[in-house]
Every structure is written in structure tokens, then in C-alpha cells.
Amino acid sequence: MNSPLIINAVSVPVGSDRVVDADEEVFVLYSELQAKVRQADTGQTFRGLGHVDSRKDTLALAIELEGGEIPNDTPKSDEKKRTRHKNRTRARRIADKTVEVNVAQDTTALRSRKGDTGSVIWHASLDFARLILQQAHLRIAGSLFDFEKLKEQHIFELGAGTGVLSLLLSPLCRQYTATDIPELVPLIRKNIDLNFPQVSASSSPSNICARALDWVELKSTPQHRRQACFPVEDVIDLLLVVDCIYHPSILPALTETIDYLALPDHTAILVVSELRSEQVIREFLESWLALPNWTIYRIEQGYLSGPYVVIPSQDMGRFKRMLRRVLPCLFPVHDPSINSGSDSLSKDEFVKDILPAQSQSSRRPTSNTASTTDSEVRSSPVTAFSAPSAALSVDVLGVQNLLEKRPHSKARPSPFIRPDKELPPIPSMPPPGTVHENIGFDTFGLVPPSQGLGFFQNASNFSVNQPVMIEHLGRLEIHQSSDSNVFALMRNEHVLIGAEYDSSDRDDPPRCYPDTRTRFLDDLQTRIYSGTRIIWLYGPAGAGKSTIMQTLAETIAASLACSTLFFSRLHKRQDCKKIFTTIAYNFACVNAEYRRFLKDRLTSDPGFLAKSLEEQFKRLFILPFLNNRAAPHAKPWVIMIDGLDECSSEPDQCRVLDFIRKSILHHSASTPFVWIISSRMEAHLVGPFSLIESSIQEFWRIEVAIGTQEASKSAEIFFRAEFAQIRQHHAGMLPRSWPSEAELVKLAVASWGLYIFSKTLSGYIAEEDPQNRLERIQLLIKQSGNSTASKAAQTEGDNPFRLLDILYAMIMSDIPAKYLPTAKSILAFSLLAKAAFYTKDMPSDDSRSENPNVAYFLDVCNILDLSHHYAYRSLRKLYSVLLIPPPEKAHDSGVQFRHVSFADFLTDESRSKEYYISLNNELLKIWQGYCRIAKQSMYQPGRITLAWEPVNSLISGTDLERRLGRRARLKWLELLTEFFHDNPSCKCRLEYRFLPDISETVTVLRDLSPPHRQYSA
């Protein structure tokens, strides 16, 4: 462009280019950006999203404006004066200036509720304001605005956030309207009051108006209702969009909002965006260019210092295009769907309504209509229009000619025609699952079934439940299914039960203690809102990864669509084949649009959930958004996967990461997902995450380290609170100064910030005799610190785990030798819960489904032939590491490990030594218990000898016997088959000394074979 282009008060500089192709523009923008980076040699492609300071409730901003000399434009006098002052410089000095504003932020909204990124100040807004204020201060030639013209104009800002731009730029214009979602409007008004206090009742208020405008809501509103949804009282001269392009899901709603607000041939639109994701910028330009009649330019990149693009534009003729669309609806030629009426509206009346500035007089009613004044019409929420009964020919071009001759006016034309009654919608097929009565097939232009092959022709007095029937000849589709049935089937067969962050199976889950892990939580929430697409939270076992994930999920779930999946090897939630179906099911529970999509998909193809992981991922998380089946969301959809390393298959773990990587690479602009994955730093996961890091810019990793000052500080806060509760529980026995400050600090340092060590240690001390146990712990720490071996281990970074093992061994040593074998058997049953207790063919006594991750304590004790007293006495010293149900809940609850590290300790002989649990040995004991119960139930029905009779329980002795007998008849052979299949030498996985038990097994098999054949039949 060789000369400046004037769009209202915006002056598009020379050298700006017309935007015609999104791909070409993105290539040019990012090529120039890379060139600037190479020249600066910073090693970074761009600064990326960044807020000024999200921790302060109020920021005092000061923008320094440089002064300088500018030409004196005072009119020249006569020639004599010119001669007298010919040597005097015709210039005036502009002094330096500082613009100061105070801006309140909602620091909690960024992390905890709806309100998100707009609740704090971002650099892009300040950089743009600094540029405009500097140009206005010096009236620099080539400024972006004609500031004299801007004084009389109305600036309308989208996505105003805190309202900081309105505070800085409102003195430059006549009226400034700042808009954002409803949750942020109070914050904008608060900042207006903070900076423009009303001195008295008669003083002039600020020229800033704060209004709520939700782009997504506006986009979802039918066009003929948008004026009622968001009326625009004043013509918009400049539409400002600064730093609002950060996520692809909001782009269609943003461009639609711009298209609605802009007055054709008048409103100038100025978009300022930080260059972050290429895909997002490309999709924004594509979405905008797809709208007809828009002229879009790109100002050269160096105009605004930093990684920004400035895009001025204008709608060239949308008003005329709108008339072509609206006039046929107002004056139909052949439209039988619109009821005829006696009232009519002439073409001239229509033009006067469209152009209120041409005539401010009262409207002249047509024949058969009552007189209505213009003010009455405008105050009415709905303007009445009726279509004539006869066909009416409309000279559209004639109306256009009138429009071309209209005088300039600041009154805003009404962009939409609003009938007194909504026009009947265009007939369409009924949605799936909808039952319609008395609908003729000709209504939809279909061939009746009787004219084709048809369904049940001439049949009557019958019903079909939940049919899915399609007749292609007649184009008839009947879908009738129940949401509850469809999703119940999905939940029962394809969802990991109990994996959600708020599941009852994870009742009282570990979460961050108040004022701990704040850096992790703040950084994670900032990353979610700032465009990061995948986050890896990694660290050693017991470092507190799950506590961070749990607390984060509880914090963001109220304001974002969030699907959580907490894997647990310990609780048998580890089937990788169900990872994507579980995530999709959770999204369907919180998002109505996605629920409708998933229901339709399950109805049309119920078997797709059993397809490969790759196919599931594509159908659940890519195609719905490419095809616009699941409506785009203005906020990110967060997927949290905790403990990926505990998934059942290492190759599947790597494949899951690869699917996520490819989806972000190829479909980042279409999908709204932010993936947060936590795991240990296992060797097989390092490679996939390294590949993600090298190929995806929006990747971020954060380590939950131990042994750091921050980790020890969190441990100290935790210990202070825990010991305060212990003192309160043992009031009168412990002094207020217990423990001493030195003792507490030593514990925090010794814990190395290892969360599970701190948690287990505090539970151990609180269990009984706190002072004695604290002294034992102090002795343990002292001995460990004085040991040469422990010092070497500390140098290698292994000391915290050695301390944890010593602590676990100390806890196990408290169990009397008499009860230790029994405790091991109960612990083994919990470790083998699914293998030793459940079978997928197990019928249930209860109306509800049984939990496959928990072996009921009452059943376990009877299978192992343990009395109530003996079982609880065996576990008495383990409450710090186990969750043990009380007797009244033992019939439907089981013993559970508080943390997987204790299970790892017990099953690793090199660590636990004499406390090692051989699962093969214990499984044999369990199998023998099943054999005993099976023989009793077969030969003496209802006469099973119960070691623990249920008392004060919700289950009777008879029901328990029936449940145990049914379970034993199924499980004894299942376990036998698993360990003694066709080739015992290869399959049994038992040592030679156990071979004599095989003969006993064969004997039992012979004794039970007749009943077993009867059961199978």
C-alpha cells in the first residue's frame, strides 16, 4: 500500500498489506518473528503469554511518556514579523508525562472460578496502551489514530478483562464501552470507581461504560434475537480487540461477534494479538476471511514493539448483504409457512425503520393498523411487522440506491428485523430419541414407508423398545433410546469405576495441606489458561504428585470442563484400554453438548467403544470437534491423568502419549483440550515426553522434587498443623511446647519433603503414646544420620527412601510375632483383591454393583477363617499405613493401603526382608480357604461355618453364607486354573516345595467335580 488508508479514525500506515490468505499471512508473520529473534540472539521464539503480576490484588501502573519538540502550528503573521523572527525555531517543547492508574485484580479467579485470564493484567494491553498514549502525547506523524477525530468517537472494547485499557484510553474519546463476560464486569466497574471517583452528585461521571457480553452466548442466539440479547444503543466507531486470540475454541464466537457489532462502511476494527500459536492465528484469520465483504490489513510487524500483529479492518457492505437476506423474509413471494395477515408494511416504511436518522417523525401506519409513535415503537421490546397475504414484488436495488444516498448519522441502524411473532422454523428431521405424534412425512419431504419397503407396514397394536431402525429408501430414521440405559452400559463395561477425583471409592483422598504446594498450584493454573496444551508433572513415588493433582482438580472443576482419571495399581484401576472411554464419560457428565454427541454416537454405533485405542481417541477427541458436533467452548477442557506409570501396559502408556502428541500437532486449533499428566520418571516414559517436548511448543514439564528447601518448608507447615491436632487430642498429657522447635525442624529436614514419609510419620506418632513414638523416630533419624552407609546413601540421593523403608519396618515390628502371619495374609488379600476375590461372572446380592477394587473385610476374614477379634488385633498397629473399616462397615468395605509405597515395600524382599509377603504363598492359603467353603456349601447347603458372624450389620448370616458359597464355587477353580493350567511346570510359578499341594488340589477337584458340572450346566 503506497499511501495511508483512512478507516474512520484509524490511519493504516504505508507498507501495510491486505490479508487475503491465512496460510500466507502466518508464514510471513512467523518468518519475520524468527528473523527478529535471530538478530536479537535471545534463543526464544517469543515471550509467550505472561501476566504482569498475578499475586497482587492491586497494581499501581505508571506509564512514562517521553516529551520532545514538535512543530508549532500557530498561524504565521505578516512578512515583517516573519523577517524579524526568521531565525527563531518554529517548534514547541512537550514535557515528559507520566500516566498513572491503579488496577484491582481478582487473583483468586485465575485459579479457582469462572473469570479466568481476564481477571489479571497482561503485558499486551500495556504495550498497546503505551504506544497509543505516546503517539497522542506527541501527535507523532504517522500515528495509528487521528486523535482529533477520535475525540468525538465511541470506542467499544471486546474482552476488556480488568478494564485497564479503558482507564488509559478513555480520555482520548467521547465514549468508551468495556465489555467482557458477566463474571468480570464487577471487576471493571470496581476499577472505574477506583480511578474516577465521583466527587459530588452533580459531578460528571466517567465516560466509561462496563457491559456484559458473552461471545459464545451471542453466537448461539438466533440472528433475529441478537438485538434483544445485546442491544447497541450508540454507533460503534472503533471496535477494539486486544489480546483476545489465545484459544481456538473461542474464535468462531469472536468473529461472529465482530461481524454483528460492526456498522458496515463505518466501524473500524483494530485487532492486536500476541504471536503465540501459529495454529490459533491461522484459524482466526481463516474464520474472519470466511465472512464476506470484510477488508483486512496487516500493519508491518515492527510498528508495535514485541511479538505482536496489528490488524485493522472494515466491513465493506454487510448492510447491503443483510438486506438481501432480510427483505425476502419480510416480504415473502411464495412462502406458505408464514400465516397471512391483514396488516402490511410498505417498502418505504421498512426503509424508514432501517434508517431512523432519515425521519424522526412518527411512523405512518398502513391501512388497518393503529397509529404508533416512533418513541412507542422504540420503547417496545418487539416491533410489530406482519407479512401481506398477497405476493409483493420488492425492488431490492431501489432500496440499495436509497441507502447509498443516506446522510451520515451517529444513530445506529437496527440491524435486524423483529417480527411480532417468530417465523416458523424450517422443518427438519426430529432429533434422535424424540417421539413425535401426527407428523406427516410430507412435512419433511420424505417418502412414506408405505411407498417403500417400510417398517411393519399396516401393523397395529404393538410396540418396539429402544429401536435403532433405518430405511434408506424412504430416508426414514427412527432412533429411540434412553440416556440412562446407553450410559449405564458404557459405564459398566468401558469405564474405570472410582477413577474420578470426587469418587466415593476415593473418599477422603490425599490433598495439599493449606499453604503448601502453592507454587505448583499457581503455576499449573496459569499454564492452563495461558495456552499450554500438555503438562507433565513428574517426581519420585510419595513426593506428593497425587495430592497436587487432587487439589488442582477440586480447584478448577467448578469453572472448567474437567475430566479426571486417577490410576491405581493398588486398587486395580489400571486398565489402559479404558482410559479414553473413561475420560469421555466424565466429560459427558459435565458438558451437555458433549453428552448429546456421545449419546448419538453410542446409539448409531454402540460397538465403537471396543475398537482400538487409536480409533477410540480419534472418534472421541478429534472428530467431534472437527465436525462441530461438540460445540466449541470458550474455555479449555482439562484432562487430568494421575499415575500414568501405573497403567497396566507400558507400550500402551507410550501409545497414549503418542496419540496426544499427534492430536496437538495436527488438530491444536480444533480441539480445546489441555492434558495434565503425572507420573514417576520411568525410563520408558522419558523418550515419549522428550519427543513431545521437541515437537510441541505448548509443552511444559514441572518436577515435584524432594530434598529442596521448598519441599522441607511444606513439610514443616504440615508437621506444625499435625502436631497441633495431636496436642489437642491428648490435652493434659502433652505440653503446649511439644515438640520443641528444634525437634520439629529436624523432622521436616529428615523427611526431605517426601509427602508420604511426613504423612506416615505423623500418623504413626499420633496413633498411641506420642512422646514415646517421637523419641523412637528421633533415635531412628539419629542412627541413620550417623551411619556411614546412610551418609553414602544420602550423597547418592537415596536417603529419604531408606528412611521410609526403616519407618515401614519399624511399624511392622510393632506387630506381635503371634499375629504377624495373620496380618500378612490380610495384607496379601488386599494386594490380590481382584485376582483373589472377584470374577467378572460374579452375580451380586445387592441391588448396587460390587466394587471390584475392594475385598470386603467380613468376607476376607471368613475365607481365611479369622475371628473378628483376631483380625482386628492383628492389624492394630497398622492404622498409620492402612484404612481399616469399622466392624459395622466390614460387610461392604475392605482394608486399603494409604499409599502404594507401603505395598511396594511389602512385595520387595530386598527392602522388607522378614516382612516380605510372598503373594504366591498367600494365594495358596486363599485358595485353600475357598476349597473349604466350597465343600461346605456343596455338601451342606446353608451350613457354612462362619469364623466371624455378622452382628449389628446390614447383612444377615444367611445372606453372608449364600454370598460366600457362591463366591467360593466360582473362585476356587478360577485360581486353580490360573496357577495349575495344562503345564504346571511353566504356569504354576510356585517353588518345588509346594508340589505336594497339587495332589491335595486334585483330590478336591475330584470331590467337587459333580457339583461343578452341575453349576456349569
Residue 342 confidence (pLDDT): 36
Q: 26 near 282, Cβ under 8 Å?
A: yes
Rounded to 5°, the CA angle 240-245-250 comes to 105
DSSP class per residue in 949-963? ---SSSS-HHHHHHH
Run of H or E residues at 629: none
Topology match between the domains 8-50+146-196+206-316 and 483-703: yes
Return phi, psi of residue 642, to 5°: -100, 130
Whether the link from the prior residue into 540 is cis, omega within 30° of 0, is no
Cell numbers that stand for 396 in this block: 431490492
pLDDT at 964: 85
Domains in the chain: boundaries:
8-50+146-196+206-316, 320-404, 483-703, 709-812, 815-1016
Q: So what's the pLDDT on residue 236? A: 92
**In the chain, which stretches have pLDDT less than 50?**
42-49, 74-81, 83, 86, 111-115, 199-202, 318-454, 466, 468, 470-481, 629, 786-799, 840-841, 843-849, 981-999, 1001-1002, 1004-1017
Residue found under cell 515492527: 302
- Separation CA 403–CA 784 (nearest Å): 90
Q: Is 166 helix (H, G, I), strand (E, B) or coil?
A: helix
> What does the pLDDT read at residue 170?
93
pLDDT at 38: 57
Residue 941 is predicted with a pLDDT of 52
pLDDT at 715: 86
Whether 400 and 320 have beta carbons less than 8 Å apart is answered as yes
List 70's β-bridge partners, or say none. Answer: 92
How much is the pLDDT for 155? Answer: 95
Q: Residues 149-180: pLDDT tens digits?
A: 999 999 999 999 999 999 999 999 999 999 99
**Joined grid coordinates for residue 490:** 458404557
* Other Cβ atoms within 10 Å of 422 Cβ, number: 11
Q: Is 318 helix (H, G, I), strand (E, B) or coil?
A: helix
Which residue, among 299, 248, 375, 404, has the nearest Cα to 25 in the 3D structure?
299
Measured in whole angstroms, the distance separating CA 280 from the mean position of its chain's CA atoms is 18
The pTM assigned to this predicted structure is: 0.43
Give the three cell numbers for residue 822: 495373620
**CA 839 – CA 997 distance, rounded (Å):** 24
Q: What is the rounded CA–CA span in Å between residue 969 and residue 1015? A: 9
Three-state SS for 781? helix
Q: What CATH number belongs to 483-703? A: 3.40.50.300
Q: What are the residues facing 269 on neighbouring strands?
A: 239, 313
Query: Helix or strand or coil: residue 240?
Result: strand
End-to-end CA distance of the chain: 87
Q: Cell 419431504, residue?
A: 445
Return phi, psi of residue 841, to 5°.
-90, 5
Strands 673-679 and 896-897: unpaired
Please give the Cα distance from 546 to 355 (Å, whole number): 63
Cell of 257: 461477534
607 neighbors 600 (Cβ within 8 angstroms): no
Strands 294-298 and 476-479: unpaired
Query: Rounded to an integer, what distance in angstroms lies between the CA atom of residue 874 and that of residue 660?
Result: 47
- For 855-899, write each residue's pLDDT tens digit: 889 989 999 999 988 999 999 888 877 888 888 888 888 898 877
Write out the CATH class of domain 8-50+146-196+206-316.
alpha beta
What per-residue confidence (pLDDT) applies to 541? 75
Q: With beta carbons less than 8 A apart as the criterion, state whether 717 and 758 touch.
A: no
Query: How far, in Å, CA of 826 to CA of 926, rounded?
Result: 10
| Cβ proximity of 210 and 163 under 8 Å | yes
Q: Which amino acid is at 249?
A: S
Residue pair 822/870 in contact (Cβ under 8 Å)? The answer is yes
